[in-house]
Amino acid sequence: GFEIGKLRAQTGLVTLDSGYGNTAAYKSAITYLDGEQGILRYRGYPIEQLAEHGTFLETAYLLINGELPTVDQLSAFRGQITQHTLLHEDVKRFYDGFPRDAHPMAMLSSVVSALSTFYQDSHNPFDEAQRHISTIRLLAKLPTIAAYAYKKSIGHPVVYPRNDLGYVENFLRMTFSVPAEEYDLDPVVVGALDKLLILHADHEQNCSTSTVRLVGSSQANLFASISAGINALWGPLHGGANQAVLEMLEQIREAGGNADAFLEKVKNKEDGVRLMGFGHRVYKSFDPRAKIIKAAAHDVLSALGKNDELLDIALRLEERALSDDYFVSRNLYPNVDFYTGLIYRAMGFPTTMFTVLFALGRLPGWIAQWHEMIKEPGSRIGRPRQIYTGVVERDYIPVEQR
């Protein structure tokens, strides 16, 4: 719905653009997205090339600094991140206070917000040195925060970071190793998770990124802005879709595995049920990330020897939907979330951790967008307008006369 309303006095014309479908709030040089043709590039580099040849840390450096790092730059970047992976011991007490069944996304956003109480030097976003150190701290600590949230949920002691390991290896070990037993890192799992993090690393002005920018536009610090982004990501129409897809596949399996019956429900809009992991505001053809992830799902499941019935259901749903007029006429294709959950599940993550993994991947994009906004000359506070639809004016009536 695009509509033009008029506000009185000096404000001029105000456009009403539901869901910001046609309104650009920012100029950005970070991510190029062509939804008609299914093209996604970070700083000009095609996502396919980065996923095939790059690493997540290289991609994070690229998004934040604008160029791929040299060997020395990458090693310095990795070295800095490695020095900041530990959480302050007092942070552990936050986890003591959370109920054991708390959703890890709630723990993630709360602890990230709380980091600004430990690093009060982060409060001035115009200090370049502070921006840099806050960036390094966040990139280094988010995997530790995420792994602690998982350990809390299963009642296990936390595992401290090991800085001789790579970014993804360290996270997997903190998540899955148990006391007195060395955790065997599987190169298939490490490679696949690294690739998935690259594919999630940025996606221009989506809901969570716009949230990071909007909060940051008030000159709130980086931790506060990223914490808000994590909360925006949590919803099932955004990053929470990866959890919702798996739950949907499980429901279909429990009901006898009938993909057609489920699609009928979706098409009849019964109880507002949607085919989760399908559709995208911007992509009107295949999501290029979904193509890569679908292939990775096959590879990872067969390399790990997992024969997941849910993958068969997902393939059936996709095949049927892509030849069904309801989905075709609305340009509904699988998005990034349709197959990710199956990979995460094969790796051993519970469904509640899926969106946390998305947040780990999206972090460099959020940070890069926050930096770009803060550094933009003349950048203004984000402040949408509205079309007022309430009563124009009325007189107060004392309570006993109403």
| Interface with ligand ACO (CB under 6 A) | 19, 206, 237-239, 241, 266, 274-281, 330, 332, 335-337
Tokens of 214: 């909007």
Task: Identify whether the C-beta of residue 80 lies closer than 8 Å to the C-beta of residue 73.
Answer: no
For residue 335, give the amino acid letter. Answer: N
Tokens of 374: 């803060």
Cβ nearer to ligand ACO, comparing 161 with 361: 361
Going by C-alpha positions, the residue among 321, 361, 383 that lies closest to residue 202 is 361
Cβ nearer to ligand ACO, comparing 77 with 262: 262
Annotated active-site residue in 103, 203, 280, 371:
280
The residue of the chain with the least Cβ separation from ligand ACO equals 279
Q: Length of the chain in residues, anyone?
A: 402
CA–CA distance from 243 to each of 267, 354, 358 (Å)? 21, 6, 10
CA–CA distance from 134 to each of 90, 142, 210 (Å)? 19, 12, 20
Biggest alpha carbon–alpha carbon distance for the chain? 77
Cβ nearer to ligand ACO, comparing 125 with 240: 240
Q: What is the dihedral of CA 277, 281, 282, 284, to 10 degrees?
A: 70
Task: Report the nearest approach of ligand ACO to the CB of residue 277 (Å).
Answer: 5
Task: Report the nearest approach of ligand ACO to the CB of residue 170 (Å).
Answer: 25
Q: How far apart are CA 224 and CA 287, in angstroms?
A: 30
Q: How far apart are CA 146 and CA 107, in angstroms?
A: 8
Cβ nearer to ligand ACO, comparing 276 with 301: 276
Task: Report the nearest approach of ligand ACO to the CB of residue 282 (Å).
Answer: 8
Q: Which residues pair with 4 in a beta bridge?
A: 15
CA–CA distance from 195 to each of 28, 315, 343 (Å)? 24, 21, 11
Cβ nearer to ligand ACO, comparing 274 with 306: 274
Task: Report the nearest approach of ligand ACO to the CB of residue 214 (Å).
Answer: 17
- 127 counts as catalytic: no
Cβ nearer to ligand ACO, comparing 152 with 362: 362
- 280 counts as catalytic: yes
Q: Residue 305: helix, strand or coil by DSSP?
A: coil
Task: Report the nearest approach of ligand ACO to the CB of residue 166 (Å).
Answer: 25
Task: Report the nearest approach of ligand ACO to the CB of residue 295 (Å).
Answer: 18
Q: How far apart are CA 368 and CA 81, in angstroms?
A: 16
The distance of Cα 95 from the centroid of its chain, to the nearest Å, equals 22
Catalytic center residues:
280, 337
